[in-house]
Amino acid sequence: AQTPVKVTVTGAAGQIGYALLFRIASGQLLGADVPVKLSLLEIPQAVKAAEGTAMELDDCAFPLLSGIEVTDDANKAFDGASVALLVGARPRTAGMERGDLLQANGGIFGPQGKAINDNAADDIRVLVVGNPANTNSLIAQQHAPDVPAERFTAMTRLDHNRALSQLAAKLQVPVTEIKKMTIWGNHSATQYPDLFHAEVGGKVAAEQVDEAWLRDTFIPTVAKRGAAIIEARGASSAASAANAAIDHVFDWVNGTEWTSAAIPSDGSYGVPEGLISSFPVASRDGKWEIIQGLEIDAFSRERIDASVRELEEERAAVRELGLI
Ligand code: NAX
């Protein structure tokens, strides 16, 4: 039998954690033939709640789940880990400035990056879900100099899936008809969901919708969907966020021809090197590759640049604060 793969989930007692852990344990993260060991990292006050979730995981008797540990010690949590899902973060609360938010998250993602650096398995792959996800991922990466930089990623797959679903509803086609969807930039309201490269039934999606819908409905609906979910359910997206995290890691490990992921820029498409920005990506041999050669028109350029500018400002702010 295959050796179990250790998967570490931070913020395990939170709502995304609750939606995520059972799917990992059932084999949906890595594949139906890969046994997993789960490590649940929480802050001390939430360890008991995470232990409760671990009891429920036990009660599922998942054939692929070979063990669970619950801890508030990051060194222990990441010891031997091959996948790290960094979900726990400090949310923005009323009156908090961006600097305070970045500072508080620097205090989480810096030490976790170091703990990954010092303890994780050589094949560690990191997905940051906790917001501000792109910049939190950058902070963790900068504290893990021994881990290849490209192993640090952030999640824009939920935005990607939202874009698929909005376009499918508009054109009344199954989501499976849509290819080459792309989210560019930051996982924030500035993100740019791109229909100029997306295809429906083999034809460019942007040519099948009117420009006003694309500009005034589609883009803002995708970008502000998180707020609409909070408004409707009284809590932020959880199961859909967990689902997107599963999609991201599954495709990273098992390969895909085209999706969206925030990965360290190599300078492609004018995105400054090192920023963890969302791109159209393929995954081959366990590595993300930015899809090259796309023509970017003025409409898209302006929107990509705006989102990338926000990432540059976040990077400048965390440098200023001494967090990287
Ligand atoms: P919850 O508040 O339900 O859970 C967060 C958990 O993280 C809590 O149990 C808390 O104790 C834990 N935590 C805090 N600091 C920690 C630390 N230093 N180490 C370990 N655990 C720690 O939030 P939830 O709804 O699960 O959301 C988690 C994060 O995902 C938030 O930052 C949220 O903004 C972000 N999201 C990101 C999305 C994306 O697409 N990238 C979409 C969904 C979600 O909004």
CATH architecture of the domain with residue range 157-314: Alpha-Beta Complex (3.90)
Model-level pTM? 0.98
Indicate the DSSP class of residue 185: B
**pLDDT for residue 221:** 98
> Is 143 an annotated catalytic residue?
no
16 annotated as a binding-site residue: yes
Give 8 Cα–ligand 1 centroid separation in angstroms: 14
Nearest-angstrom CA–CA distance, 218 and 215: 6
Give 13 Cα–ligand 1 centroid separation in angstroms: 9
Name residues whose C-beta falls within 8 Å of residue 274's C-beta, 6 or more positions apart in sequence: 138, 149, 264, 265, 315
254 annotated as a binding-site residue: no
Nearest-angstrom CA–CA distance, 91 and 107: 13
Indicate the DSSP class of residue 74: H
Give 210 Cα–ligand 1 centroid separation in angstroms: 37
105 annotated as a binding-site residue: yes
**pLDDT for residue 95:** 86
12 annotated as a binding-site residue: yes
**pLDDT for residue 98:** 86
Give 86 Cα–ligand 1 centroid separation in angstroms: 8
Query: Digits of tens for pLDDT over the chain (324 positions)?
Result: 689 999 999 999 999 999 999 999 999 999 999 999 999 999 999 999 999 999 999 999 999 999 999 999 999 999 999 999 999 999 888 888 888 999 999 999 999 999 999 999 999 999 999 999 999 999 999 999 999 999 999 999 999 999 999 999 999 999 999 999 999 999 999 999 999 999 999 999 999 999 999 999 999 999 999 999 999 999 999 999 999 999 999 999 999 999 999 999 999 999 999 999 999 999 999 999 999 999 999 999 999 999 999 999 999 999 999 999
Find the helix or strand (DSSP H, E) in which 227 lies: helix 225-233
CATH architecture of the domain with residue range 5-154: 3-Layer(aba) Sandwich (3.40)
- Is 14 touching ligand 1 by the criterion CB < 6 Å? yes
Residue whose CB lies within 8 A of the most ligand 1 atoms, among 42, 45, 237, for a mutation test: 42
State both tokens at 21. Answer: 């852990």
- Is 13 touching ligand 1 by the criterion CB < 6 Å? yes
- Per-residue pLDDT reduced to its tens digit, 194-210: 999 999 999 999 999 99
**pLDDT for residue 93:** 87
- Per-residue pLDDT reduced to its tens digit, 28-84: 999 999 999 999 999 999 999 999 999 999 999 999 999 999 999 999 999 999 999
Which residue is closest in CA terms to ligand 1's atom 36? 130
**pLDDT for residue 1:** 67
Q: Where are the chain's structural domains?
A: 5-154, 157-314
234 annotated as a binding-site residue: no
- Is 12 touching ligand 1 by the criterion CB < 6 Å? no
Find the helix or strand (DSSP H, E) in which 320 lies: helix 298-320
- Is 243 touching ligand 1 by the criterion CB < 6 Å? no
Which residue is closest in CA terms to ligand 1's atom 40? 158
Catalytic residue among 160, 187, 197, 248: 187
Three-state secondary-structure class, residue 57: helix
